[in-house]
Every structure is written in C-alpha cells, then in structure tokens.
Amino acid sequence: MILYDFEYERPSSLQEATALLSETGEGAKLLAGGTDLMPNMRVEVITPSLLVSLSAIEAVAPEKSTDGSIKIDALIKLSDLVDDELIRRELPMLAEAAHTVAGNQVRVMGTLGGNLCQESRCLYYNQKHDYQFVEPCYKRGGDCCFPFPGNDQNVCWAVYMSDIAPVLIALDATLEILGPDGTRELAMAELFTGDGMNPFTLEASEIIQAIIVPPLPERFGWGYHKTTVRGGLDFGTAIIVIALQMAEDGETCSWAKIIYGAVGQGPLRPTTTETSMENAALDPALLAVAASQEISPLPHHGFNKGYLRENIRVYTERSLVQAIERAQGKN
C-alpha cells in the first residue's frame, strides 16, 4: 500500500512529459506500464513527488525503413513486441528475449522502454525499510553495502536485470532520446554507467522514445538463453546473448559479440574473447571457458560467483553452437 502523497500528471505527448520532468527534477518519475515502478513504490524504495503517466500516448507499430533498419517505439508493450510479425521475422532474437520477461500478465503491461530503464535489484535494496534489519544501504542513503560489507568505496553493487538490453547491444541498436532541447542518439551500449547507484547515462528530463536496429548482415547467427529459478516468473540468474557473422566459407567467424546480463551493474562483455573469434574457426567449448573466466559476475540473490561462472560457461557453449548453426543455415 502506498501511504504518501504525490502529484500525478497525464501529458498527451512526450514533449509535454519531458517538460514536466525538467520542471520537477529528480523528484519526478515516468509511469508507463508500472510493472517495475509500482512494486518499488509500495515498499518505498522509490518515493517520487510527481508521477508522469504516459498512458495517453499511443505506441506506434515497428516500422522498417528503406535502408533496412527497424524503428521500434519505446512505449510498445512487451506482449506486442513478441507478437509483431515484422519483429518475429526480422529480429527473432528480440522477440525471444521479450517472451522471457516474467509472465503474460506482466508483458501485456510492461513496455520496452520500461524494461531497459528498470531499477537495479538487490535483496537489501528492494525491500521495505523495516526489512533491512539495521540501517539503509548505500543506495538508500546509508553507509554500507550489505552484500559486500567490506566495500569501503561507497559503491552500490545492485544488479541490472533487463532481459532485452543485452540483445539490443548485440544488435548494435541505437536509442533515440528526447529531452527538453530536442532529440539525440545514443548507442545502446552507452546507456550504462556501471554504477549501481545511478545505472543510466540519461538526464533526469530525458526519455527514450525509440530504438533503431540496423539491418542484419548475411550469414548472421544468434543464441539467447536466460536461466531462472522458476522458469519465466523470475528475474534472470544469468542471461547469455551471442551474435556473430560467419565468413563466406561457412567455417570461420568474421566477428562475434558475447553479452551477459543479470550478472553486473550493467551488461558485461568478454572483449578479449570476442577479439579472438575474429577471422577464426570457433571452438565453442574453449571459447565458453575463456569468456566465463574473463568476466567477473556479481553474486546476487543467493548465487555465488563460482555458480554463476559455471552457469555462464555451460550456456555460452550451448548458445555459441546455436548461433553458429543458425549462421550456417542449419537451424
């Protein structure tokens, strides 16, 4: 139950919404689907003075441009993203990732932009004040990070859990961002600060209004896997995303991207392993070992680093096999 007072506005355009955000500052929060914001408000993790509802603004269906790129409205519901014929045909990895978000009751309310901008998560941070036992954590104004009590650097280690962000990074997506002074573009990979306290590079008055995905190359392959405790109901234990292009000979890899979600303050990439895959024949088993050892997954929700690293190794290998077979036309 939400017991504190706040103001509520329902603008008819994103331009009006950015103006309201600009006028109010840090005390304002956007309300789209509300599947992340409202639970956090109920336990007073987030206590905005103003809610700016986007419910009066209708999402535009995904569109393919003459250059082959696809523009997706950030207000599209996740369920519509799953069912859209253009997305399923041209960007099946994105449809697959959207389908893994929670259950259908959440997907019919949650939006793409909301999934990208969801609050980071931690067993201590995402609880009522009286459930934190002793004192607030760093992110709630305290002076301790309970999952890492030896941390003396005022660093918040809350984990970023988006199912979809790693996929959009793998697809080289660009964000179209609207602010009081107009629009700007930002590479999807540049949305993240790597700081659990303030995870995003967006200004308080900015809104993601669209996502633009460039056309996929020939001989493109992908793999996606999300591990959870209870199937589709949970946030991910780890998310593994592979995107690659095979050379014309069908045996060597031209380039590859490996993105890990739900194991860091933002998506993680084993860049040394990625570089080793360029213009090379691929051994999924060896590459999976190298990639899992290169990153440092954050322990979260009872899962230690050793468990997460082994989880990542196993599903990186399987996802690499899947991506290679897709690129070779075998899957």
The pLDDT value given to residue 67: 97
The pLDDT value given to residue 158: 85
CATH code that applies to domain 220-327: 3.30.390.50
From 276, 235, 230, select the one nearest 252 (Cα to Cα): 276
Tell me the average pLDDT across 216-242. Answer: 88
Domain formed by 1-53, architecture: 2-Layer Sandwich (3.30)
The pLDDT value given to residue 129: 56
Please determine whether the domains at 1-53 and 220-327 fall in the same fold group of CATH.
Answer: no
Per-residue model confidence as pLDDT tens digits over 137-183: 777 777 777 766 665 566 788 899 999 999 999 999 999 999 999 99
Q: Crossing angle for the helix pair 284-294 and 305-327, nearest 10 degrees?
A: 140
The pLDDT value given to residue 330: 86
What are 66's strand-pairing partners? none
Do residues 76 and 62 make contact, with C-beta atoms less than 8 angstroms apart? yes
Do residues 200 and 160 make contact, with C-beta atoms less than 8 angstroms apart? no
Q: Which two tokens stand for residue 71?
A: 């523009």
Per-residue model confidence as pLDDT tens digits over 38-81: 988 887 888 899 999 999 999 999 999 999 999 999 999 999 99
Tell me the C-alpha distance between 2 and 49, whole Å: 13
Per-residue model confidence as pLDDT tens digits over 90-102: 999 999 999 999 8
Q: Is the pLDDT of residue 135 over 90?
A: no
65-117+159-213 folds as 3.30.465
Cα angle 218, 175, 12; round to 5:
130
Tell me the average pLDDT across 198-217. Answer: 96
Q: Which residues contact 150 (CB under 8 A, 6 or more apart)?
A: none
The pLDDT value given to residue 315: 97
**Mean pLDDT, the chain, as a whole number?**
90
Do residues 242 and 326 make contact, with C-beta atoms less than 8 angstroms apart? no
Minimum mean pLDDT range among 197-211, 231-245, 313-327 = 231-245
Tell me the C-alpha distance between 302 and 323, whole Å: 30
Name the residue ranges covered by the structural domains of the chain.
Answer: 1-53, 65-117+159-213, 220-327
